Every structure is written in C-alpha cells, then in structure tokens.
A = this chain, B = another copy of it.
Amino acid sequence: MTRKKIGFLGPPGTFTEEALISAVEADKSKLVPLTSIQEVIAAVERLEVDKGIVPIENSIEGSVNATLDMLAFEANLLIEREVVTPVVNNLIGRRGTKRDRVTTVISHPQATAQCRNYIAREFPGANIEAANSTAEAVKIVAGRQGGEAVAIGTSLAAKLYGLNVLERKIQDFPDNRTRFVIIGREMPKRTGYDKTSIVCFIHEDRPGSLLQILQEFAYRSINLTKIQSRPTRKTLGEYCFFLDMEGHVEDANVAEALKCLRCKIRQVKLLGSYPRARVGKA
C-alpha cells in the first residue's frame, strides 16, 4: 500500500505538523513540509500531494486570509475535515538549564508576543531573538554553544532536536486555539454532526444582499457558526461572504438552502461538508 502524501506548512516541528500528527495515522501517511499556505494548496491542485493541511483561523490572530483566498478564488478543492487544536507554547532548552543564567529567549515573533508577560516575569533583561519559525528557534538553541539560550516552541520540535520541555504552556492567554483544515478532493459522508462551508459572491455591495442570503438559512433553521465578509480584490466593490453552517449538503434543509441561494445570487461555491471538530480544551 502506498502511503498518502500530505502537505503541510513546514518546517517540521511546527504547530501545523503537531496538529496534523494529532489528526492522521502517521504510519499511513507521508508528511511533506512545504514553505507557504499557497504552496500547500497548489501542491494538492497539481496532485503532487494527496491532501494538504493549512491553518484557517486562530483565536487570537484571526482568520488566515491567505487560506480563505486560495480556497475561494484559486483552488477547486474541498475541505475534508477540520482540526481544532490548542496552541501550546513551551519553554524549551537543555536539561538542567539554570533559569537565572538564561541570557537569550528565541522564537517566532508571534510566539514571543503571545508569551510577553511570561518572559518579562521569568527572564527580565533577556535578549529576545527572532527565528523564522518556532521549530527554527528550537534548532538554533540545540546548535548554539556557550551562553544559556532557551526557545519557545512545540514539544514535537524539542523531541526533533534533542532538547527538553522545561515548562509547558507558558503563553499569557490560555485560550489560544488554531483551526486547521485538511484540503483534498473528497466529500466525506454525512455523520449527523457536520459543518458545511460556502462562499457567496455578490455583484454589488448592495444593502440587503447579505440579508437575502441569510434568510434562506434562517427560514430553514440552519445555524450559522461563522460569517465573514471580504472584498474579492478582483473587481472593486465586489464582495464575498464566507459562511459556515451546521449540517451537511446531504441534509435536505442544507441542500435546499443552497439550491435557492444559487437562484438568487451570482455564484455560490461549496468549500466542503465535513465532520465538525470536537473542540478540546487547551
């Protein structure tokens, strides 16, 4: 049996790989690190990988527009699954690192920002050094001779580079979660606990056009879990709306709502029906 190739936003040891490993059977898959969200989705389109995993939303940073735009405007692929994982920032270093001798804290600026209060409290006066990813930060600490440096990153990266998790979950805001989506060409069967994502294109930014869309769902008691407007960037004044709803396109009410929407508005693009994630605590 050939193993399925799954592209992810690399390098190895990042939060994306951690999410991916939590979601797939690693021994049945070959994980392929790629360098950008655009490349992950393009690689799936070009059949270079079977599926791809990309972040679509973070509870602190917000929606990942690069992903939304690729799915809406560039790719013809389906969301096959969502994976919601807590982002756990760990303090990583050599075993036996003395805290009072730490001179340098290394991480991706976003991770550093999410641990700002912790760093100020635990390592006042330390030099904050940037890395291109949390995984690179761990690699730098593993390779550096002399001086005491620590990194902020995943436990996966600690294992990968032979270092230790000195303290778990050091971020200032405990509730930090990222929603990833697995992108491919398959439509999973209805499970009864599903979500459907669509994007609606509206010709003009007319008052009431969104209202017309939402009426179709309200009328059928379909619960919307997310709504976001976004300019299409193709034509000035053209808007699109990303909608997530409870239910599967095989559910009669969802199917009917989409059918009626397609009569009303210019374009409705189905981004997928897939099982809803059971959200764990961070």
What is A's interface to B at a CB cutoff of 8 Å? Answer: 35-36, 58-66, 68, 108-109, 112-113, 116, 128-133, 136, 175, 205-208, 210-211, 214-215, 217-218, 221-229, 231, 233, 241
Contacts and interface: CB of A to CB of B under 8 A. Distances in A.
A232 B208 CA distance: 26
Contacts of A207: 217-218, 221-224
A153 to B, nearest CB: 13
Nearest to A223: B207
Q: How many copies does the complex hold?
A: 2
A136 B132 contact: no
A132 B207 CA distance: 42
B59 A233 contact: yes
Contacts of A132: 109, 112, 128-130
Contacts of A61: 61-62, 64-66
Contacts of A35: 116
A280 to B, nearest CB: 13
Contact of A130 (B62, B109, B205, B218): B109
A126 to B, nearest CB: 13
Contacts of A128: 132
A5 to B, nearest CB: 22
Given A128-B132, A229-B226, A62 B65 contact: yes
Given A207-B222, A214-B214, A116 B36 contact: yes
A129 B217 CA distance: 49
A83 to B, nearest CB: 18
A228 B227 contact: yes
